[in-house]
Amino acid sequence: MRRPVRRRHPLRDRLHEIIFESDTPAGKAFDVALIALILLSVMAVMLESVESVRMRWGTALRAAEWIFTVLFTVEYGLRLYCVDRPLRYARSFFGMVDLLAVLPTYLSVLLPGAQYLLVIRLLRVLRVFRVLKLVAYLNEASLLMQALRASRRKITVFVFTVLTLVVILGSLMYLIEGPAHGFTSIPRSVYWAIVTLTTVGYGDIAPKTTLGQALAAIIMVIGYGIIAVPTGIVTVELSRVERRVSGQACPGCGAEGHDPDAKFCKYCGSAL
Amino acid sequence: MRRPVRRRHPLRDRLHEIIFESDTPAGKAFDVALIALILLSVMAVMLESVESVRMRWGTALRAAEWIFTVLFTVEYGLRLYCVDRPLRYARSFFGMVDLLAVLPTYLSVLLPGAQYLLVIRLLRVLRVFRVLKLVAYLNEASLLMQALRASRRKITVFVFTVLTLVVILGSLMYLIEGPAHGFTSIPRSVYWAIVTLTTVGYGDIAPKTTLGQALAAIIMVIGYGIIAVPTGIVTVELSRVERRVSGQACPGCGAEGHDPDAKFCKYCGSAL
Amino acid sequence: MRRPVRRRHPLRDRLHEIIFESDTPAGKAFDVALIALILLSVMAVMLESVESVRMRWGTALRAAEWIFTVLFTVEYGLRLYCVDRPLRYARSFFGMVDLLAVLPTYLSVLLPGAQYLLVIRLLRVLRVFRVLKLVAYLNEASLLMQALRASRRKITVFVFTVLTLVVILGSLMYLIEGPAHGFTSIPRSVYWAIVTLTTVGYGDIAPKTTLGQALAAIIMVIGYGIIAVPTGIVTVELSRVERRVSGQACPGCGAEGHDPDAKFCKYCGSAL
Amino acid sequence: MRRPVRRRHPLRDRLHEIIFESDTPAGKAFDVALIALILLSVMAVMLESVESVRMRWGTALRAAEWIFTVLFTVEYGLRLYCVDRPLRYARSFFGMVDLLAVLPTYLSVLLPGAQYLLVIRLLRVLRVFRVLKLVAYLNEASLLMQALRASRRKITVFVFTVLTLVVILGSLMYLIEGPAHGFTSIPRSVYWAIVTLTTVGYGDIAPKTTLGQALAAIIMVIGYGIIAVPTGIVTVELSRVERRVSGQACPGCGAEGHDPDAKFCKYCGSAL
């Protein structure tokens, strides 16, 4: 996990260890504090959008926001200071997220009404992943990604089939139900077909005619049933990835697929 | 993937390569352009059904429609020209879809008000599969189809059980809730039972009596639970199909589909 | 599949073959005709409950009902005639269903207004299973049943956990939201919790307070996530049942788990 | 399952056997009676919250409540009497639940209006688990717990991804739809995103703009698809746990958890 950096200053080395790594007590404490800070600041942004809360605690929330911003700015500065190639860090995905976490507050001084800028601060929630990235969860996430990547073609076929289904079934419903029952256009009917196929079912648009309800019933049963397909795909792929990762080959007979805690080959008994 | 055609004219050969295959740069470019064209034309048909859009950009959309139609017609002609047996192509499933993609626009000149014809143009979306068919996705789709075919009997048993459940539970609800609470007939009650069992839950019809709500709760828990059955079926079948495909060939008889831990061919007994 | 019956009369034997078995052309034709008849009669009962249809085609439907009833009665009589132990058949599950399929129509002459009796006729839909029971689907259904039976304990633990969750979370919501927001009693709140946990979501009752919505969000995420548990249970059990069924033991090394088409042991190469 | 207790009094021993164990007829009868009592008392508490029932049978329900409370109190006393370390039992999780099952009724004499206290009685439903705990279901439950524990890291990654998705997509919807369409604040929009992603779909808040409906459609498809991830995780883990449990013990070192096709112990290399 440790990036091979040339270390020159003991202070920078120490800071790098605390900020970027998590195998020292100080590093762990830093990570926990950072996650708490991120979650608090996200919660503050969310609460600020509730009118009744803004009326009452608006000033307090704005003060808190500035405190968070200053802390994140200091952190961003320290990160820039203690990595070997600051530019590369600044241009990386998480470097951008770190910058976007502080910029909107500063810009809001110049452009007071910019509601959109404030929402960008919610991207801070992504920073949680940068912290997790440094610890043991990375491994698990990468297994999941591998399984999803290995099944991306099957998933593409599946998604295309679903899209074709909703376009064709949605426009059929447009012909059957018509604008009088809320199916005012094909895009809206396709939207309804997606709401139904994914079993969300808002009920803001619902078929009224008998033929429409019969077709809707068919869409529901299809939607209910084909969820089995992506589930099957991911399960099979995940089980294969797990087996591959955990298996070293036996030096005696070449067999693979040994459990991670195996000390001897289960087929020929040679030591692994 | 390449159909064994007797080639006579270099131009025809070249065209066949571009239109029907995708292993040359020109063939790939053709496929990508065709997919883009198909998606654009589908989007245009969908947008035309939105009244506010039709008011504003109606003329532009109709012009675009004619451009798409002419391009697809040229493509259809070229396909007919460069295959060896044009009639067989014209009668094939994708030949019909290719024709249905252009016919409605021409017919709409003769029968101006025919809204239904216009919707047929949406079948163009199926043409995406004909393009995909020619590339590597075919393999994945066929694995999925194999798994679904292998489990078709179990799925039939499952679908029949679900249909029986919704008929019996739906008519029970008709007796319990009655027309006063929206359950006006048995077909409508069965429709409600499908909406509930598949966990769609529009809420346009919902039980009001205590007994009805108790029965509805049971239907929901059943629907929530039995989704596990098709998922299990497809997963097991998919994992078996995958294993069969990934196996090595037997040096003795050439049979495939051996388990990863097999040491001897299960058909002829040769060592693998 | 063939019950070991002592045959005495050639006519009875022939009838038994046609009615109870499906390996002769006549037996197959009988099965297909019976399924068609069952589905038609179920459809007629369902249509009769729609008021507008009853107004128009009421007489025709009642006539059809009598034709179906007479045909089913003849079939019931023939079944009684050609089995060896008529009483045992009459008392069996499917014997009762066969009787319930005809009784209500006769009783409706004596008790004209008995709507409940008419709905009992819908149990005819169960007769489809008696036909399916005789053909190859039986095997698949029994595999599914085996898998479900093998996992019944795990499923019981799961169902109890879900019931405890909805009772506790439902009564919490009763305290939080209260009668003013539609949560008028604990049973109703538990009903709402089931609607939410199973991801049905009618929307007839929905939390209005912030705290209620937060708790509802937690229930949703739980419901969305724990569906993985029964799915996992059934998948694992189904895959084990499949393996057990298809596997005979090797006479050479005793290994099990061979594919159904295996001719030689994959571990030691002995002929199976 | 049997706790190694020093037994001194034959009566206490006998009581311990009946109350805490279930391998004698008396112990089994006690368990069944207790489960029935628990379910009845839970049902009484639930019914009491329905106004129309309370009006009519209020006195009867209160009488029943006192009978249940006295019985549970006697049971609690007996449990305290017949375990070796009463304090340790009283402080254990189920000891607390046993106390909470009786306390609220006594307290309601002192604090008559305390509705909250009454609802605490519903925690009695947890006592069902204490009974189940003593029988064979324990094993199955522990398998499920093992599988869930083994996959807790992957599930954490998944839950964090879902939370990030709903925060970002929810605040996007807040910007797109705005307070006019019911998306009055970011927390409310996030609540809507959870309702949609988990495919619950109440319909109390639903997007009205075209852009909002397009984004909602994307959220639905994501929610419909990623359910495959936890399902795959749990299935793979459950199948691994099952395999480990069903394995035979090594004659060399006694280790368990060998694969069904293992010929040698993976820990010490002895032949199995």
Distance from CA of C194 to the nearest CA of D (A): 11
Least confident among A96-100, A257-261, B107-111, C147-151 = A257-261
Q: With 60 as the cut, is the pLDDT of residue B5 above it? A: no
Give the model's confidence band at D13: pLDDT under 50 very low, under 70 low, under 90 confident, else very high.
Answer: confident
Q: With 70 as the cut, is the pLDDT of residue B8 above it? A: no
Give the model's confidence band at C196: pLDDT under 50 very low, under 70 low, under 90 confident, else very high.
Answer: very high
| Contacts A215 to B, Cβ<8 Å | none
Q: Which residues lie below 8 Å from residue A89, measured CB to CB, with a gap of 6+?
A: A79, A80, A83, A95
Q: How high is the pLDDT of residue B141?
A: 73
Residue type, B186: I
Whether C205 has its CB under 8 Å from any CB of chain B: the answer is no
Q: Where are the domains of chain D?
A: 10-137, 145-242
Query: In angstroms, what CA-CA distances link D231 with B159, B171, B199, D243?
Result: 22, 33, 17, 18
Least confident among B8-12, C73-77, C236-240, D144-148 = B8-12
- Mean pLDDT (chain A) is 81
Q: Which of D64, A270, C146, A204 is nearest to B157 (CA)?
A: C146
CB contact under 8 A, C201 and D203: yes
Q: How far apart are CA C76 and CA D210, in angstroms?
A: 59
What does DSSP assign to residue D264? B
Q: How high is the pLDDT of residue D1?
A: 44
Q: How far apart are CA D272 and CA D264, in angstroms?
A: 5
In this complex, the residue of D42, D137, D203 whose CB is nearest that of residue C153 is: D137
Query: In angstroms, what CA-CA distances link A210 with A217, B186, B191?
Result: 10, 12, 9
Each residue's pLDDT tens digit, D45-94: 888 888 888 889 889 998 998 999 999 999 999 988 888 888 888 888 88
Q: Which chain B residue shows the shortest CA-CA distance from D204?
A: B203
Share of chain A above pLDDT 90, in %: 17
Distance from CA of C202 to the nearest CA of A (A): 8
Q: With 50 as the cut, is the pLDDT of residue B1 above it? A: no
| Contacts A172 to B, Cβ<8 Å | 119
CB contact under 8 A, B235 and C237: no
Average pLDDT over residues D117-145: 74
Best mutation target among A163, A173, A233 (most B Cβ atoms within 10 Å) is A233
| Contacts B235 to D, Cβ<8 Å | 235
CB contact under 8 A, C269 and B264: yes
In this complex, the residue of A199, A203, A235 whose CB is nearest that of residue C235 is: A235
Distance from CA of D38 to the nearest CA of A (A): 36
Each residue's pLDDT tens digit, A163-177: 889 999 998 999 899
Least confident among B233-247, C231-245, D149-163 = B233-247
Average pLDDT over residues A90-117: 80
Average pLDDT over residues D158-165: 86
Q: Which of D183, D193, D191, D192 is nearest to D219 (CA)?
A: D193
Distance from CA of A194 to the nearest CA of D (A): 6
Q: With 70 as the cut, is the pLDDT of residue C96 above it? A: yes
Sort C59 into a burial class: Cβ within 10 Å, 0-12 / 13-18 / 19+. Answer: exposed
Q: How many CB atoms lie within 10 A of CB B228?
A: 28
- Mean pLDDT (chain B) is 81
Average pLDDT over residues C87-102: 86
Whether C13 has its CB under 8 Å from any CB of chain B: the answer is no
Give D101 or D254, the one with higher predicted confidence: D101
Q: Looking at beta carbons, which pairs linking B48-54 to residues 24 or more positions away fall under 8 Å?
A: B48/B118, B49/A174, B49/A185, B49/A186, B49/A187, B50/A184, B50/A185, B50/A186, B50/A187, B50/A188, B51/A184, B51/A185
Q: Which residues lie below 8 Å from residue C20, measured CB to CB, with a gap of 6+?
A: C3, C79, C82, C83, C134
Q: How high is the pLDDT of residue C213?
A: 92
What does DSSP assign to residue D92? S
Which of the other chains make 3 or more beta carbon contacts under 8 angstroms with chain A?
B, C, D
Whether A106 has its CB under 8 Å from any CB of chain C: the answer is no
Best mutation target among C188, C192, C213 (most D Cβ atoms within 10 Å) is C213
Distance from CA of D31 to the nearest CA of C (A): 16
CB contact under 8 A, B154 and C143: yes
- Can you give the pTM of this predicted structure? 0.83
Q: D10-137 domain in CATH 1.20.120.350? A: yes
Q: How high is the pLDDT of residue C100?
A: 86
DSSP letter string, D26-39 = HHHHHHHHHHHHHH
Share of chain B above pLDDT 90, in %: 17
Say what the ipTM of the complex is.
Answer: 0.81
Q: How high is the pLDDT of residue C1?
A: 43
What does DSSP assign to residue C271? B
CB contact under 8 A, B200 and A201: yes
Distance from CA of A119 to the nearest CA of B (A): 31
- Number of Cβ pairs < 8 A linking chain A and chain B: 139
Whether D157 has its CB under 8 Å from any CB of chain A: the answer is yes
Share of chain C above pLDDT 90, in %: 17
Each residue's pLDDT tens digit, A23-48: 788 888 888 898 899 999 999 888 88
Q: Which chain B residue shows the shortest CA-CA distance from A151?
A: B140
CATH fold of the domain at C145-242: Helix Hairpins (1.10.287)
Average pLDDT over residues D229-246: 80
| Contacts B116 to A, Cβ<8 Å | 175
CB contact under 8 A, D203 and B203: yes
